Structure formats: C-alpha cells, structure tokens
Amino acid sequence: MITLKQKAARRHAQYYIILLETLQNLYLEGGDRMSDALLHLDVEWTQMQQAQGWAYTHYETDELAAKVCNHLPDTGAFLLLYHRLFNEQLAWWQSALEAARHLKDTRAVAIHLGNLANAYYLQCRYQDALELYQQYLEFSRSIGERFSEGVALGNIGNVHNNLGNTQEAIKYYKMQLAITQEINHLSGEGNALGNLGNIFVAVGGYDVALTYTKQALDVFQQTGDLPDQSVAYNNLGLIHRKLGRYEEAISFYEKALAIDRRLEDKRGEAANLGSLANVYRETGELDKALAYYKLDLEISRGIAAIRDEGQALGNLGTFFHDMERYEDAIAYQQQALAIFRQVGSRYDEGKSLWNIATSLYALGRLQEAIEYGQQGVILYRKTENPDAVESGAQLDIWKHEYEQVV
C-alpha cells in the first residue's frame, strides 16, 4: 500500500519534471526568455535536485520513480548543459542509464549512453567519451538501429579528431557518411560531409576539404538548418584563408557571424570573431584583429568553453609574436598549453609548444626553443599536422646553430 508520504513524493517529482520541461521550452525560445528560464531554474534548483534524488533512490521499487529517473535528464538537457551544471548532468544521466536498464527500455539505454558520452565530450574528457560512444555504437548495432549507429560513428570520429588520430577519424566519418546516405538521412549526411571537410583541412588537403564542405553547405541549405549553415560558412572561410583568398574568407566568416548573432549562439559568435581576427592579422589590420581576439576570449570565458578559451589564448599569443612582443606571446601560449594538456587535445598542444619555441628562439633563448620545439614536432608528427615537415626542418637548423655556439 502506498503511504501518504510516498504519494506526496510522487506528486512532487511529477510536478518538477513538468516544470523542468516548461523551463527548457522557454529557454529554447531564445532572447529574454533564456535568462528568464535560467533565473527560474536557479530558484527551483534545490527542489528539482530533491525530485531527482527521490526518483533515483526508489527506482528499483517504484515504477513511477524509475520512469521519472529515466526521463528527467532528457527533459532538461539543454538547461543543464548551457547553465554549465556539468556534474549534475553527468550524475543525472548515469542515474537515468541505471533506471532505463532496470525498466528494460532499450531505446532509452541507447539515448542515455549517447548523452552521457556527449557530456564527457563537452568537458573534453575524450577517453571517457570514447568508451561510452563505443558502447553506444555496439548497442545500436545490436538492436539494428542504423540512425543511432551513424550518430555513434560520427561522434567516435570527432573524438579521434580531437585526439589527433586523423586516419581513425577519417575512417569513422566515411562509415558515418555511408550509413546516412543509405538511410537517406539528409542532415546526418550533411554532418558527415562537414566532418570530412574539417579533417582534410587539418591535414592540409584543402581541395578535398573544399569539395566536402560545399556539399555539406548544399545539404544544410536544403534542410534549412541555420546552425549547421553557420558552421559550413566558417569552414569555407577557413579553407579560403588557408589558400590566401582573404576577401572570400571574410565574406564567409561574416555570413556565419550573422547567423550566430541571429540565433544568439555565443560559442559560434566567439569562434567566428576569432576567425575574422586571424584574417585581419594576416592582412595587416592589426587593431581590428586585436579587438576581435579579445572579444573571442571574453565570450569563451563567459560561457566556460574551455577548449575555445585555449584557442583564443593561442590566437592572442600568435598575434603578439607577430608584433614582436615575444614575452607576451609566450605568456598567452603557456596559458593555452595548460588548457590543451588539461583537455587532452594533442593537436592543439603541439601547436602551442611550437609557437612557444618560435618566440623563445626570437628572444635568443636557443636551448629552451629546441626543448619546446622537439616536443612540438613529436606531436605534429603523431597528429599528422601538415606543418610537421617544415617545423622539423627548422628544428634541425636550430640544433645546428646550437652546436656551433656550444
């Protein structure tokens, strides 16, 4: 027999799951509604934690509690993510996974595995994310869910990309593309094409990258997906910048920035400001470049996007190196290096090490430059950075200079 206390706990949990869903819908409307939703979340947060805690404590003996525990994280996924409640997000999804397994809800098990992996990925805990994405992939295959299999393959590719495992990333992206085309999932196909474009940019295959990225943009324009259109425009801007086509690069970056501001996507806005700053630095418009770099860093820190913060710091380091302010350049690159080591991004770590080395060399600190340069070149080679050959040759020159001095 259900006691009055149990009934009250059930009503409490049901009320707060409905409220959380209402607040998330309010948040997704954008504009002032976002801050209203977050403010209301702060007010009700303790009660929501109690509801989730009750559901997790009783999920094995109370079917309603199990259903609440299973459903609650998805109900508030965006709020938990964008309010930066990462630890709570992880705990709720871990609890939900247990409840879903208890309920034998196979679809929910797959969803929670994927979402839990996403949470680790967003915190740059790539090895943890990889392990769960692999479980998600195996589970999707075991139940014959081709759509989820494609999503898992793409996510595994993303992890390998961030870890600098280029060939593994390409392999998984191509498998993702094959499945999305097989099941005629247009937006998934666009994501796979975009992923392949990104990875070929990273290894210097700009013509191949341009083909994939144009195809991705074409797909996103067909689907009307504005966030992904912004990403595609940004990637096209990067490719044209790498090819020295600066006017085309600025045009694409500005298209991406306009979309991000329209959607109030702060992370995208910061990324595109940094991208525009890179172009202005390379074209000699240094005041404009510095202003954009600082805005990029300010926004990235404001939304706690840690890897983005590292990239913004690295960009400022490169800027000050070009201005021959080498001590400032090293200080920014050291901050970036600490972040990239923290998040396990070997590709970015290699860039920071090499950039520190070049500034040390410019200061005449040859032995230190060689030490950092050696570490950087090792990571360049491991991550298949296209600058590996040129940097390795430069390092040999420095070593020869040092031998002459000693």
Task: Out of 103, 138, 164, pick the residue that ends a domain.
Answer: 103
| pLDDT value of position 2 | 77
CATH number at residue 327: 1.25.40.10
15, 63, 144, 191 from 8: Cα distances, Å: 11, 15, 41, 46
* Backbone angles phi and psi of 77, in degrees to 5: -55, -50
Assess if residue 224 is contained within a domain.
no
Look at the chain and report how many structural domains it folds into: 2
Query: Which of these ranges, 4-13, 33-42, 134-143, 310-319, has the smallest mean pLDDT?
Result: 33-42
Task: Out of 42, 69, 103, pick the residue that ends a domain.
Answer: 103
Assess if residue 241 is contained within a domain.
no
Task: Out of 103, 121, 152, pick the residue that ends a domain.
Answer: 103
| pLDDT value of position 154 | 97
| pLDDT value of position 1 | 66
* Residue ranges making up the domain that contains 81: 1-103
Assess if residue 255 is contained within a domain.
no
Exposed / middle / buried, residue 104 (Cβ in 10 Å: 0-12, 13-18, 19+): exposed
d(CA 301, CA 308) in angstroms, rounded, equals 8
Dump pLDDT digits (tens) for 71-127: 888 787 777 765 545 567 778 888 999 999 999 998 888 888 888 898 788 766 788
Assess if residue 248 is contained within a domain.
no
Whole-model pTM: value is 0.70
| pLDDT value of position 360 | 97
d(CA 240, CA 207) in angstroms, rounded, equals 10
Assess if residue 141 is contained within a domain.
no
Dump pLDDT digits (tens) for 252-290: 999 999 999 998 888 889 999 999 999 999 999 999 999
Residue 207: pLDDT over 60: yes
Assess if residue 190 is contained within a domain.
no
Assess if residue 94 is contained within a domain.
yes
Averaged pLDDT, 306-315:
90
Instruction: Give the confidence band of 130 by pLDDT, cuts at 50, 70, 90.
Output: very high
